[in-house]
Structure 1
Amino acid sequence: MISVLVVDDDFMVAKVHGGYVTRTPGFTVAGVAHTGADALRAVRELAPDLVLLDIYLPDMDGISVLRELRADDSGPDVIVITAARDVDTIRAAMHGGVLHYLIKPFGYPALHDQLRHFATLRAKLDGHPGSTALGQADVDQVFGTRPRGSTTLPKGLTAQTAELVERALRETGTPISASACAERVQLSRVSVRRYLEFFVDHGKAEVTLRYGGAGRPERLYCWSAH
Protein backbone atom coordinates (compact mmCIF):
# COMPACT_ATOMS: atom_id res chain seq x y z
CA MET A 1 0.00 0.00 0.00
CA ILE A 2 1.14 3.54 -0.78
CA SER A 3 0.78 5.71 2.31
CA VAL A 4 -0.44 9.29 1.95
CA LEU A 5 -0.35 12.25 4.33
CA VAL A 6 -3.17 14.74 3.73
CA VAL A 7 -2.29 18.33 4.68
CA ASP A 8 -5.06 20.94 4.66
CA ASP A 9 -6.12 23.63 7.11
CA ASP A 10 -9.81 22.97 6.43
CA PHE A 11 -10.96 19.90 8.39
CA MET A 12 -13.82 19.10 6.02
CA VAL A 13 -11.70 19.45 2.89
CA ALA A 14 -9.03 17.23 4.43
CA LYS A 15 -11.72 14.66 5.17
CA VAL A 16 -12.97 14.76 1.57
CA HIS A 17 -9.47 14.40 0.13
CA GLY A 18 -8.72 11.59 2.56
CA GLY A 19 -11.86 9.87 1.32
CA TYR A 20 -10.62 10.21 -2.25
CA VAL A 21 -7.36 8.54 -1.27
CA THR A 22 -9.13 5.71 0.53
CA ARG A 23 -11.34 5.10 -2.52
CA THR A 24 -8.27 4.55 -4.69
CA PRO A 25 -7.04 0.93 -4.71
CA GLY A 26 -3.48 0.57 -3.45
CA PHE A 27 -3.53 3.77 -1.37
CA THR A 28 -4.10 4.41 2.32
CA VAL A 29 -4.23 7.55 4.47
CA ALA A 30 -1.26 7.50 6.83
CA GLY A 31 -2.40 10.65 8.62
CA VAL A 32 -3.91 14.11 8.38
CA ALA A 33 -2.30 17.44 9.34
CA HIS A 34 -3.86 20.89 9.50
CA THR A 35 -0.75 23.04 10.05
CA GLY A 36 2.72 23.19 8.56
CA ALA A 37 4.37 22.20 11.83
CA ASP A 38 2.07 19.20 12.20
CA ALA A 39 2.79 18.21 8.60
CA LEU A 40 6.56 18.21 9.15
CA ARG A 41 6.12 16.28 12.39
CA ALA A 42 3.87 13.74 10.70
CA VAL A 43 6.36 13.20 7.89
CA ARG A 44 9.10 12.46 10.43
CA GLU A 45 6.91 10.11 12.46
CA LEU A 46 4.87 8.39 9.76
CA ALA A 47 7.29 8.45 6.80
CA PRO A 48 4.52 8.62 4.16
CA ASP A 49 5.25 7.86 0.52
CA LEU A 50 3.27 10.84 -0.72
CA VAL A 51 2.06 14.16 0.72
CA LEU A 52 -1.02 16.03 -0.53
CA LEU A 53 0.06 19.52 0.44
CA ASP A 54 -2.09 22.62 0.78
CA ILE A 55 -0.44 26.04 0.35
CA TYR A 56 -2.60 28.10 2.70
CA LEU A 57 -1.76 26.90 6.21
CA PRO A 58 -2.25 28.87 9.44
CA ASP A 59 1.34 28.84 10.72
CA MET A 60 3.50 28.64 7.58
CA ASP A 61 2.81 28.43 3.87
CA GLY A 62 2.99 25.16 2.01
CA ILE A 63 5.99 26.28 -0.03
CA SER A 64 7.99 26.63 3.19
CA VAL A 65 6.88 23.13 4.19
CA LEU A 66 7.93 21.86 0.77
CA ARG A 67 11.38 23.41 1.11
CA GLU A 68 11.92 21.76 4.47
CA LEU A 69 10.84 18.43 3.06
CA ARG A 70 13.26 18.83 0.17
CA ALA A 71 16.14 19.42 2.59
CA ASP A 72 15.98 15.67 3.23
CA ASP A 73 16.84 13.56 0.18
CA SER A 74 14.76 10.69 1.56
CA GLY A 75 11.63 12.82 1.93
CA PRO A 76 8.26 11.91 0.39
CA ASP A 77 6.95 12.94 -2.99
CA VAL A 78 4.49 15.83 -3.01
CA ILE A 79 1.35 16.79 -4.91
CA VAL A 80 0.14 20.32 -4.21
CA ILE A 81 -3.62 20.71 -3.67
CA THR A 82 -4.56 24.36 -3.28
CA ALA A 83 -6.70 27.30 -4.32
CA ALA A 84 -3.54 29.33 -5.00
CA ARG A 85 -3.35 30.24 -8.69
CA ASP A 86 -0.66 32.94 -8.74
CA VAL A 87 2.34 32.38 -10.94
CA ASP A 88 4.90 32.88 -8.16
CA THR A 89 3.42 30.09 -6.08
CA ILE A 90 3.14 27.75 -9.04
CA ARG A 91 6.73 28.49 -10.03
CA ALA A 92 7.95 27.92 -6.46
CA ALA A 93 6.12 24.59 -6.37
CA MET A 94 7.75 23.57 -9.66
CA HIS A 95 11.17 24.54 -8.32
CA GLY A 96 10.41 22.45 -5.25
CA GLY A 97 9.94 19.39 -7.41
CA VAL A 98 6.26 18.66 -6.84
CA LEU A 99 4.74 15.88 -8.93
CA HIS A 100 1.62 17.84 -9.79
CA TYR A 101 -0.39 20.93 -8.87
CA LEU A 102 -4.15 20.51 -8.44
CA ILE A 103 -6.28 23.64 -8.08
CA LYS A 104 -9.26 23.43 -5.71
CA PRO A 105 -11.99 22.56 -5.92
CA PHE A 106 -11.56 19.41 -7.94
CA GLY A 107 -13.41 16.12 -8.19
CA TYR A 108 -12.28 12.62 -7.42
CA PRO A 109 -11.30 11.81 -11.05
CA ALA A 110 -8.60 14.50 -11.05
CA LEU A 111 -6.92 13.22 -7.91
CA HIS A 112 -7.48 9.59 -8.88
CA ASP A 113 -5.59 10.13 -12.14
CA GLN A 114 -2.63 11.64 -10.29
CA LEU A 115 -2.57 8.89 -7.67
CA ARG A 116 -2.63 6.18 -10.32
CA HIS A 117 0.07 7.99 -12.26
CA PHE A 118 2.20 8.11 -9.11
CA ALA A 119 1.63 4.40 -8.46
CA THR A 120 2.66 3.55 -12.03
CA LEU A 121 5.85 5.61 -11.86
CA ARG A 122 6.72 4.25 -8.43
CA ALA A 123 6.33 0.69 -9.69
CA LYS A 124 8.42 1.45 -12.78
CA LEU A 125 11.29 2.97 -10.79
CA ASP A 126 11.16 0.43 -7.98
CA GLY A 127 11.31 -2.35 -10.54
CA HIS A 128 14.82 -1.38 -11.64
CA PRO A 129 18.15 -1.19 -9.78
CA GLY A 130 19.40 2.35 -9.18
CA SER A 131 22.06 1.99 -11.87
CA THR A 132 19.62 0.90 -14.60
CA ALA A 133 19.64 3.05 -17.75
CA LEU A 134 16.13 4.00 -18.90
CA GLY A 135 15.07 4.96 -22.40
CA GLN A 136 13.72 8.39 -23.33
CA ALA A 137 10.11 7.18 -23.33
CA ASP A 138 10.52 5.90 -19.78
CA VAL A 139 12.16 9.15 -18.65
CA ASP A 140 9.39 11.18 -20.31
CA GLN A 141 6.83 9.19 -18.35
CA VAL A 142 8.66 9.77 -15.08
CA PHE A 143 8.79 13.53 -15.66
CA GLY A 144 5.19 13.73 -16.84
CA THR A 145 5.94 14.54 -20.48
CA ARG A 146 3.08 13.62 -22.78
CA PRO A 147 2.93 13.78 -26.56
CA ARG A 148 1.05 16.73 -28.00
CA GLY A 149 -2.62 15.99 -28.51
CA SER A 150 -2.60 13.09 -26.03
CA THR A 151 -5.61 14.44 -24.12
CA THR A 152 -8.47 12.32 -25.41
CA LEU A 153 -12.04 11.88 -24.33
CA PRO A 154 -12.62 8.90 -22.04
CA LYS A 155 -14.79 6.00 -23.11
CA GLY A 156 -18.44 6.94 -23.40
CA LEU A 157 -17.87 10.60 -24.29
CA THR A 158 -18.07 11.90 -27.86
CA ALA A 159 -16.42 14.85 -29.55
CA GLN A 160 -19.76 16.09 -30.88
CA THR A 161 -21.38 16.28 -27.45
CA ALA A 162 -18.23 17.77 -25.93
CA GLU A 163 -18.45 20.54 -28.51
CA LEU A 164 -22.09 21.22 -27.57
CA VAL A 165 -21.29 21.44 -23.86
CA GLU A 166 -18.25 23.63 -24.54
CA ARG A 167 -20.34 26.00 -26.68
CA ALA A 168 -22.98 26.24 -23.93
CA LEU A 169 -20.34 27.19 -21.36
CA ARG A 170 -18.70 29.73 -23.66
CA GLU A 171 -21.98 31.39 -24.64
CA THR A 172 -23.30 31.59 -21.08
CA GLY A 173 -20.36 33.65 -19.85
CA THR A 174 -21.32 33.18 -16.19
CA PRO A 175 -21.04 30.08 -13.97
CA ILE A 176 -23.92 27.64 -14.43
CA SER A 177 -24.94 24.35 -12.87
CA ALA A 178 -24.87 20.99 -14.61
CA SER A 179 -28.68 21.04 -14.66
CA ALA A 180 -28.79 24.45 -16.38
CA CYS A 181 -26.20 23.36 -18.92
CA ALA A 182 -28.16 20.14 -19.55
CA GLU A 183 -31.26 22.19 -20.34
CA ARG A 184 -29.32 24.25 -22.86
CA VAL A 185 -27.97 21.26 -24.76
CA GLN A 186 -31.09 19.11 -24.17
CA LEU A 187 -29.24 16.19 -22.63
CA SER A 188 -29.42 14.46 -19.26
CA ARG A 189 -27.79 16.14 -16.28
CA VAL A 190 -25.73 13.03 -15.51
CA SER A 191 -24.32 12.92 -19.03
CA VAL A 192 -23.54 16.64 -19.17
CA ARG A 193 -21.83 16.58 -15.80
CA ARG A 194 -19.36 13.98 -17.08
CA TYR A 195 -18.28 16.40 -19.82
CA LEU A 196 -18.13 19.31 -17.38
CA GLU A 197 -15.93 17.39 -14.96
CA PHE A 198 -13.72 16.28 -17.84
CA PHE A 199 -13.22 19.92 -18.82
CA VAL A 200 -12.43 20.85 -15.22
CA ASP A 201 -9.93 18.00 -14.79
CA HIS A 202 -8.09 19.13 -17.93
CA GLY A 203 -8.03 22.83 -17.06
CA LYS A 204 -10.51 23.86 -19.76
CA ALA A 205 -13.25 24.85 -17.32
CA GLU A 206 -13.37 26.12 -13.77
CA VAL A 207 -15.74 25.18 -10.97
CA THR A 208 -16.96 27.11 -7.95
CA LEU A 209 -19.19 26.01 -5.10
CA ARG A 210 -22.49 27.67 -4.20
CA TYR A 211 -23.61 26.99 -0.66
CA GLY A 212 -27.29 27.01 0.16
CA GLY A 213 -29.30 25.15 2.75
CA ALA A 214 -28.77 21.60 3.89
CA GLY A 215 -26.92 19.12 1.72
CA ARG A 216 -23.94 19.38 -0.57
CA PRO A 217 -22.97 22.69 -2.17
CA GLU A 218 -23.93 23.12 -5.83
CA ARG A 219 -21.11 23.00 -8.36
CA LEU A 220 -21.12 25.85 -10.90
CA TYR A 221 -19.08 25.66 -14.08
CA CYS A 222 -17.62 28.26 -16.44
CA TRP A 223 -15.24 28.06 -19.38
CA SER A 224 -11.69 28.96 -18.44
CA ALA A 225 -10.35 32.21 -19.92
CA HIS A 226 -6.76 30.88 -19.81
Structure 2
Amino acid sequence: MIRVLVVDDDFMVAKVHGGYVARTPGFEVVGVAHTGADALRLVRELRPDLVLLDVYLPDLDGLGVLRELRGLGDDVDVILITAATDVETVRRAMRGGVLHYLIKPFEYAALRDQLAHFAAVRRRLGQLASAGQADVDEVFGSRPRSAPVLPKGLSAQTAELVEGVLRERVGGVSAGECASATALARVSARRYLEHFVSTGRAEVRLKYGGAGRPERLYVWRG
Protein backbone atom coordinates (compact mmCIF):
# COMPACT_ATOMS: atom_id res chain seq x y z
CA MET A 1 0.00 0.00 0.00
CA ILE A 2 1.15 3.53 -0.80
CA ARG A 3 0.83 5.63 2.35
CA VAL A 4 -0.57 9.15 1.90
CA LEU A 5 -0.64 12.21 4.16
CA VAL A 6 -3.43 14.69 3.34
CA VAL A 7 -2.75 18.35 4.21
CA ASP A 8 -5.53 20.94 3.94
CA ASP A 9 -6.72 23.71 6.27
CA ASP A 10 -10.37 23.01 5.41
CA PHE A 11 -11.59 20.01 7.41
CA MET A 12 -14.30 19.09 4.90
CA VAL A 13 -11.97 19.39 1.89
CA ALA A 14 -9.40 17.24 3.67
CA LYS A 15 -12.12 14.65 4.33
CA VAL A 16 -13.15 14.66 0.66
CA HIS A 17 -9.58 14.29 -0.57
CA GLY A 18 -8.94 11.56 1.98
CA GLY A 19 -12.02 9.77 0.68
CA TYR A 20 -10.69 10.02 -2.87
CA VAL A 21 -7.42 8.44 -1.77
CA ALA A 22 -9.21 5.66 0.11
CA ARG A 23 -11.27 4.86 -3.01
CA THR A 24 -8.13 4.33 -5.07
CA PRO A 25 -6.76 0.76 -5.04
CA GLY A 26 -3.29 0.48 -3.58
CA PHE A 27 -3.48 3.70 -1.55
CA GLU A 28 -4.31 4.45 2.08
CA VAL A 29 -4.52 7.63 4.17
CA VAL A 30 -2.15 7.43 7.14
CA GLY A 31 -2.71 10.94 8.47
CA VAL A 32 -4.42 14.30 8.01
CA ALA A 33 -2.92 17.71 8.86
CA HIS A 34 -4.61 21.12 8.86
CA THR A 35 -1.57 23.35 9.50
CA GLY A 36 1.96 23.58 8.16
CA ALA A 37 3.43 22.71 11.54
CA ASP A 38 1.31 19.58 11.81
CA ALA A 39 2.27 18.61 8.26
CA LEU A 40 5.98 18.77 9.09
CA ARG A 41 5.46 16.84 12.32
CA LEU A 42 3.41 14.09 10.70
CA VAL A 43 5.87 13.67 7.84
CA ARG A 44 8.58 13.04 10.44
CA GLU A 45 6.41 10.72 12.54
CA LEU A 46 4.51 8.77 9.88
CA ARG A 47 7.05 8.71 7.01
CA PRO A 48 4.39 8.72 4.27
CA ASP A 49 5.21 7.83 0.67
CA LEU A 50 3.22 10.77 -0.72
CA VAL A 51 1.90 14.10 0.59
CA LEU A 52 -1.14 15.84 -0.89
CA LEU A 53 -0.21 19.39 0.10
CA ASP A 54 -2.42 22.49 0.12
CA VAL A 55 -0.80 25.92 -0.34
CA TYR A 56 -3.11 28.04 1.81
CA LEU A 57 -2.46 27.00 5.42
CA PRO A 58 -3.02 29.15 8.54
CA ASP A 59 0.61 29.27 9.70
CA LEU A 60 3.35 28.14 7.32
CA ASP A 61 1.98 27.92 3.78
CA GLY A 62 2.39 24.82 1.63
CA LEU A 63 5.37 26.21 -0.26
CA GLY A 64 7.03 26.92 3.06
CA VAL A 65 6.33 23.36 4.16
CA LEU A 66 7.87 22.12 0.93
CA ARG A 67 10.93 24.33 1.45
CA GLU A 68 11.34 23.06 5.03
CA LEU A 69 11.08 19.44 3.93
CA ARG A 70 13.69 19.84 1.22
CA GLY A 71 15.94 21.82 3.54
CA LEU A 72 15.84 18.95 6.01
CA GLY A 73 16.75 16.51 3.27
CA ASP A 74 13.34 14.84 3.27
CA ASP A 75 12.65 13.48 -0.21
CA VAL A 76 9.01 12.53 0.34
CA ASP A 77 7.00 12.86 -2.88
CA VAL A 78 4.52 15.74 -3.00
CA ILE A 79 1.49 16.59 -5.12
CA LEU A 80 0.39 20.19 -4.60
CA ILE A 81 -3.39 20.62 -4.33
CA THR A 82 -4.49 24.24 -4.22
CA ALA A 83 -6.75 27.00 -5.49
CA ALA A 84 -3.66 29.13 -6.24
CA THR A 85 -3.44 29.85 -9.96
CA ASP A 86 -0.74 32.55 -10.10
CA VAL A 87 2.27 31.66 -12.21
CA GLU A 88 4.81 32.44 -9.48
CA THR A 89 3.27 29.80 -7.19
CA VAL A 90 3.45 27.28 -10.02
CA ARG A 91 7.11 28.17 -10.63
CA ARG A 92 8.00 27.84 -6.95
CA ALA A 93 6.21 24.50 -6.79
CA MET A 94 8.23 23.21 -9.75
CA ARG A 95 11.48 24.40 -8.16
CA GLY A 96 10.51 22.57 -4.99
CA GLY A 97 10.24 19.30 -6.89
CA VAL A 98 6.51 18.59 -6.71
CA LEU A 99 5.26 15.71 -8.82
CA HIS A 100 2.12 17.48 -9.99
CA TYR A 101 -0.05 20.54 -9.38
CA LEU A 102 -3.82 20.06 -9.11
CA ILE A 103 -6.03 23.15 -9.08
CA LYS A 104 -9.14 23.06 -6.88
CA PRO A 105 -11.89 22.20 -7.31
CA PHE A 106 -11.49 18.93 -9.20
CA GLU A 107 -13.32 15.63 -9.56
CA TYR A 108 -12.15 12.30 -8.21
CA ALA A 109 -10.96 11.19 -11.68
CA ALA A 110 -8.34 13.95 -11.80
CA LEU A 111 -6.71 12.85 -8.55
CA ARG A 112 -7.17 9.16 -9.35
CA ASP A 113 -5.24 9.58 -12.61
CA GLN A 114 -2.35 11.29 -10.82
CA LEU A 115 -2.26 8.62 -8.13
CA ALA A 116 -2.30 5.92 -10.80
CA HIS A 117 0.60 7.60 -12.59
CA PHE A 118 2.53 7.87 -9.32
CA ALA A 119 1.96 4.17 -8.59
CA ALA A 120 3.01 3.16 -12.11
CA VAL A 121 6.22 5.21 -11.96
CA ARG A 122 7.02 3.92 -8.49
CA ARG A 123 6.50 0.34 -9.63
CA ARG A 124 8.58 0.80 -12.78
CA LEU A 125 11.52 2.39 -10.98
CA GLY A 126 11.42 -0.37 -8.39
CA GLN A 127 11.91 -2.95 -11.13
CA LEU A 128 14.83 -1.24 -12.89
CA ALA A 129 18.55 -1.44 -12.27
CA SER A 130 19.12 1.49 -14.65
CA ALA A 131 16.77 3.88 -16.44
CA GLY A 132 16.49 4.32 -20.19
CA GLN A 133 15.14 7.43 -21.89
CA ALA A 134 11.59 6.05 -22.04
CA ASP A 135 11.73 5.41 -18.28
CA VAL A 136 13.00 8.94 -17.62
CA ASP A 137 10.29 10.40 -19.86
CA GLU A 138 7.70 8.51 -17.84
CA VAL A 139 9.06 9.77 -14.51
CA PHE A 140 9.12 13.40 -15.64
CA GLY A 141 5.69 13.29 -17.20
CA SER A 142 6.64 13.48 -20.87
CA ARG A 143 6.05 10.81 -23.48
CA PRO A 144 8.40 9.59 -26.18
CA ARG A 145 7.41 10.42 -29.76
CA SER A 146 6.77 6.77 -30.48
CA ALA A 147 4.23 6.41 -27.66
CA PRO A 148 0.96 4.88 -28.90
CA VAL A 149 -1.96 7.24 -29.31
CA LEU A 150 -4.91 6.35 -27.11
CA PRO A 151 -8.45 6.42 -28.51
CA LYS A 152 -10.44 9.55 -27.76
CA GLY A 153 -11.79 9.55 -24.21
CA LEU A 154 -9.06 7.34 -22.74
CA SER A 155 -6.31 8.78 -20.53
CA ALA A 156 -2.73 7.56 -20.25
CA GLN A 157 -2.83 7.56 -16.44
CA THR A 158 -5.97 5.42 -16.28
CA ALA A 159 -4.55 3.10 -18.94
CA GLU A 160 -1.55 2.59 -16.65
CA LEU A 161 -3.89 1.77 -13.76
CA VAL A 162 -5.72 -0.85 -15.83
CA GLU A 163 -2.39 -2.21 -17.09
CA GLY A 164 -1.29 -2.66 -13.48
CA VAL A 165 -4.37 -4.77 -12.75
CA LEU A 166 -3.77 -6.87 -15.88
CA ARG A 167 -0.16 -7.49 -14.91
CA GLU A 168 -1.12 -8.53 -11.38
CA ARG A 169 -3.95 -10.91 -12.40
CA VAL A 170 -1.87 -13.43 -14.32
CA GLY A 171 -4.84 -15.77 -14.66
CA GLY A 172 -6.91 -13.08 -16.34
CA VAL A 173 -9.41 -10.47 -15.20
CA SER A 174 -12.99 -9.76 -16.24
CA ALA A 175 -14.29 -6.27 -16.98
CA GLY A 176 -16.28 -6.35 -13.75
CA GLU A 177 -13.26 -7.37 -11.67
CA CYS A 178 -11.14 -4.68 -13.32
CA ALA A 179 -13.84 -2.08 -12.63
CA SER A 180 -13.91 -3.07 -8.97
CA ALA A 181 -10.11 -2.97 -8.65
CA THR A 182 -9.74 0.44 -10.32
CA ALA A 183 -12.93 2.24 -9.18
CA LEU A 184 -13.91 2.68 -12.82
CA ALA A 185 -17.35 2.11 -14.27
CA ARG A 186 -17.63 -1.35 -15.85
CA VAL A 187 -18.12 0.11 -19.33
CA SER A 188 -15.02 2.29 -18.90
CA ALA A 189 -12.92 -0.63 -17.68
CA ARG A 190 -14.03 -2.67 -20.69
CA ARG A 191 -12.98 0.13 -23.06
CA TYR A 192 -9.45 0.12 -21.67
CA LEU A 193 -9.27 -3.68 -21.69
CA GLU A 194 -10.47 -3.86 -25.29
CA HIS A 195 -7.91 -1.20 -26.23
CA PHE A 196 -5.12 -3.42 -24.89
CA VAL A 197 -6.55 -6.33 -26.88
CA SER A 198 -6.70 -4.26 -30.09
CA THR A 199 -3.05 -3.25 -29.69
CA GLY A 200 -1.90 -6.82 -29.05
CA ARG A 201 -0.88 -6.21 -25.43
CA ALA A 202 -3.65 -8.38 -24.03
CA GLU A 203 -5.76 -11.28 -25.23
CA VAL A 204 -9.25 -12.55 -24.50
CA ARG A 205 -9.93 -16.00 -23.10
CA LEU A 206 -13.43 -17.33 -22.66
CA LYS A 207 -14.36 -18.82 -19.29
CA TYR A 208 -17.16 -21.36 -19.53
CA GLY A 209 -19.31 -22.45 -16.63
CA GLY A 210 -23.00 -22.67 -15.90
CA ALA A 211 -25.74 -21.41 -18.16
CA GLY A 212 -25.51 -18.36 -20.37
CA ARG A 213 -22.73 -16.77 -22.35
CA PRO A 214 -19.09 -17.50 -21.40
CA GLU A 215 -17.26 -14.78 -19.46
CA ARG A 216 -14.56 -12.80 -21.22
CA LEU A 217 -11.25 -12.82 -19.33
CA TYR A 218 -8.49 -10.40 -20.32
CA VAL A 219 -4.92 -11.68 -20.00
CA TRP A 220 -1.82 -9.47 -20.24
CA ARG A 221 0.65 -10.34 -23.01
CA GLY A 222 3.01 -7.33 -22.77
Question: Into which bin does the TM-score normalised by the smaller protein fall?
Answer: 0.5 to 0.7
Partner of 1:66: 66
Could you tell me which amino acid in structure 1 is paired with residue 2 of structure 2?
I
Partner of 2:135: 138
Alpha-carbon distance change, 102 to 152 in structure 1, aligned in 2, over 3 angstroms: farther
Tell me how far 1:151 sits from its aligned partner: 7.4
Alpha-carbon distance change, 66 to 126 in structure 1, aligned in 2, over 3 angstroms: same
- Cα distance in 1 for residues equivalent to 2:57 and 2:9: 6
> Are the counterparts in 1 of residues 50 and 77 from structure 2 also a CA contact under 8 Å?
yes
Partner of 2:94: 94
- Cα distance in 2 for residues equivalent to 1:145 and 1:74: 25
- Cα distance in 2 for residues equivalent to 1:133 and 1:75: 20
Task: Tell me the alpha carbon deviations over residues 88-122 of structure 1, each in whole angstroms, 9 at most, x when there is no partner.
Answer: 10000000000000000000000000001000111
Alignment length, in residue pairs?
153
Task: Tell me the alpha carbon deviations over residues 113-156 of structure 1, each in whole angstroms, 9 at most, x when there is no partner.
Answer: 0001000111111223xxx331111100011113579676325x
Partner of 2:41: 41
- Cα distance in 2 for residues equivalent to 1:136 and 1:126: 16
Partner of 2:113: 113
Alpha-carbon distance change, 44 to 94 in structure 1, aligned in 2, over 3 angstroms: same
1:111 aligned counterpart, secondary structure: helix
1:37 aligned counterpart, secondary structure: helix
1:123 aligned counterpart, secondary structure: helix
2:130 aligned counterpart, secondary structure: coil
> Are the counterparts in 1 of residues 7 and 32 from structure 2 also a CA contact under 8 Å?
yes
Partner of 1:199: none
Could you tell me which amino acid in structure 1 is paired with residue 118 of structure 2?
F
Partner of 2:174: none
> Are the counterparts in 1 of residues 134 and 144 from structure 2 also a CA contact under 8 Å?
no
TM-score, normalised to structure 1's length? Answer: 0.64
- Gap runs ≥5 in structure 2: 155-222
- Cα distance in 2 for residues equivalent to 1:54 and 1:18: 13
Partner of 2:85: 85
Q: How big is the alpha-carbon RMSD for the aligned residues of Structure 1 and Structure 2?
A: 1.9
- Gap runs ≥5 in structure 1: 156-226
> Which moved further from structure 2: 71-80 or 38-47?
71-80
TM-score, normalised to structure 2's length? Answer: 0.65
Task: Tell me the alpha carbon deviations over residues 146-172 of structure 1, each in whole angstroms, 9 at most, x when there is no partner.
Answer: 3579676325xxxxxxxxxxxxxxxxx
Could you tell me which amino acid in structure 1 is paired with residue 108 of structure 2?
Y
1:97 aligned counterpart, secondary structure: coil
